[in-house]
Structure 1
Amino acid sequence: MNTSIDLAEMRTFVAVVTDGSFTTAAERLGTDKARVSRIIRRMEEKLSAQLLARSTRRLSVTEVGRDYFERAVSILTAAEAAEAAVAHQSGEPRGLLKITAGAEFGTMVVDGWIAEFLRLAPKVTVEAEYTNRFVDIIHEGVDIAVRVGTLQDSGLSARRLGEVMYGLYAAPDYLRRGPALSAVSDLEHHDLIMKTSRGRPSWTLVNGPDTETIAESPRAAVNSIIGVKNLALAGLGIAQLPRFMAEPLVADGALACVLPGWAEIPAPVHAVFASSRYMDPKVRSFVDLCLSAFQGR
């Protein structure tokens, strides 16, 4: 068996497995489906092993192919890290930076970070995916994931950027016509607007050492924090919102903060990436910019 390593072939195989399609992989690699198919067939002949199981309807990875895929990803990551270590000597960010973030946080916050980064790094291009699915950054070839909330255990590196702080808000018009509101217990007499994804919506509010659980049935429950904000602006009740979203609306008089000090525990925000030892200049620069932006809030 010829054991010479061809990184271009490895990248092609990883793209096919990641995308689950010869056609999609070819589009990503800027080539055609026939060439991708020839490369995979040549690899299988060289390795004397079947890497992919093909049928008219689907493409699947064999057990041998899965093992090869995992090792290929590790080799390509190491090769890219070696190149990044050399490129770091020049210190200038360049190339494609692939970023992922949650749909709402990406639209509301990460967009601004990307805009500033592109102004500061003219030789960098950015490809961003905002999605609420969990993105495997290694297998999907993503450089940085910006994640809100507690991180899962993994072999990835992460840098804490800051935290999202929350507060309770309502439109002044709603407060003028609503019941008195001076204590957390008064919330049971009010219309509440809650963000929910699954199960019964509720709030766990803290204020120093005190904790209160609000399990009243909300007037409205939506799975989008932007939707929560819009319903609060419409004067339909009290909402819990990120402070970075709500405070500009308070300054404009569109919302008012209620029960100051009471809110859910702040959510940490991290930049997650493959390695902290050999960080590509563009990755390091973007992470530093995100950290600076958070400190300036």
Structure 2
Amino acid sequence: MDRLTEMEAFAAVVDQGGFTDAAKKLGISKSAVSKHVSSLEARLGARLLNRTTRRVSPTEIGLAYYDRARRVLNDAGEADALVTAMQAAPSGLLRISVATDFGVSLLSPILGRFLHQYPDISLNMVLNNRYVELISEGFDMAIRLGEMEDSSLRARKLCETTRRMVGSPSYFQKFGRPQRIDDLNEHKLLHYSNQASGNVWKITAPSGEKRQVRTQGWLTVNDGQSLLQAAIAGLGIAYLPSFLYADAMKRGLLEDAIPSLPKETLSVYAVYPPGRFTQPKVRAFIDFLAEAFADKGPDLW
């Protein structure tokens, strides 16, 4: 006889205080409930219930067994609910946090495809350049660039991007091209004001050494697209990710400032809170992004 069925019958008798009410609860006959409980007691070799003409109550052993059996039954119920939930159609409000430049340049143009594919999902995309606390701030997931700082989150790598110092041909013609990192001190460097490191660029030298360069120039701005346009206009050298500069470089509007330097590669992750299972709406969006960026990066955008 099925062990879970025996447990369920026994637990129902304890919960309902008798065989008759347990049978009603389970939707089976009273004799079937009695048969399941008797089979369980015979298999265990122990009496689990005290039976009188007036009431049924668990024995000391039965009460101990009931506590464990109830946990097993609850876990089984959660397992069933998990499968049901994971197969449910994605729906509800999906709130995501995205780095501003990545969101504006890459996510905004493709969100329509996702929403048409999943019409029961409504999307709230918050653009910012700080590491939000997903759970306490009410976000379902975030898109982050660079190293994972919070190891407690679950993450899926979507693609990679590189970062380079770039400037326009007209700028290099007018001000010359830097040959090494120290030469940057003599150039106009366009500063990204939301950078976590402040007005300092952290650059890897050909030797692998990490160098820091303080940025000074005509423009400080908190938007990557604005820095891109400033670099194209010849206002200075900008330090940008490839998803911003790739098209302009392909068209000859920008050039690598110091080609001899190693490329810095940044990973792009979808991160979401840990849990027993991923919500269908979150899983659907991450799968969509993984497919959308499957052939992108690190320099091809």
Are the counterparts in 2 of residues 159 and 270 from structure 1 also a CA contact under 8 Å? yes
Could you tell me which residue of structure 2 aligns to residue 148 of structure 1?
A: 145
Question: How far 1:182 sits from its partner (Å)?
Answer: 3.7
**AA at the equivalent of 1:282:** K
Q: RMSD across aligned C-alpha pairs, in angstroms?
A: 3.1
Partners of 2:275 and 2:198 lie apart in 1 by 40
Could you tell me which residue of structure 2 aligns to residue 165 of structure 1?
A: 162
Question: How far 1:164 sits from its partner (Å)?
Answer: 2.9
Partners of 2:85 and 2:258 lie apart in 1 by 52
TM-score, reference length from structure 2: 0.61
Partners of 1:248 and 1:147 lie apart in 2 by 22
Q: 1:124 to 1:81 in 2, by over 3 A?
A: farther
Aligned ranges 1:1-297 → 2 under 5 Å: 85-90=83-88, 92-153=89-150, 155-197=152-194, 201-206=199-204, 209-211=207-209, 213-219=211-217, 220-260=219-259, 262=261, 265-275=264-274, 277-297=276-296
Are the counterparts in 1 of residues 184 and 213 from structure 2 also a CA contact under 8 Å? no
**AA at the equivalent of 1:165:** T
Question: How far 1:250 sits from its partner (Å)?
Answer: 1.6
Bigger-Rg structure (1/2)? 2
5+ long unaligned stretches in structure 2? 1-77, 297-301
**AA at the equivalent of 1:271:** A
Moved more, 156-165 or 255-264: 255-264
Question: How far 1:287 sits from its partner (Å)?
Answer: 0.8
Aligned length: 218
Could you tell me which residue of structure 1 aligns to residue 74 of structure 2?
A: none
Residues 109-143 of structure 1, C-alpha deviation per residue, up to 9 Å, x if partnerless? 23234233223323322122222344332234322
5+ long unaligned stretches in structure 1? 1-79
Are the counterparts in 2 of residues 85 and 278 from structure 1 also a CA contact under 8 Å? no
Partners of 1:203 and 1:166 lie apart in 2 by 11
Moved more, 200-209 or 160-169: 200-209
Partners of 1:190 and 1:86 lie apart in 2 by 60
Partners of 1:141 and 1:217 lie apart in 2 by 36
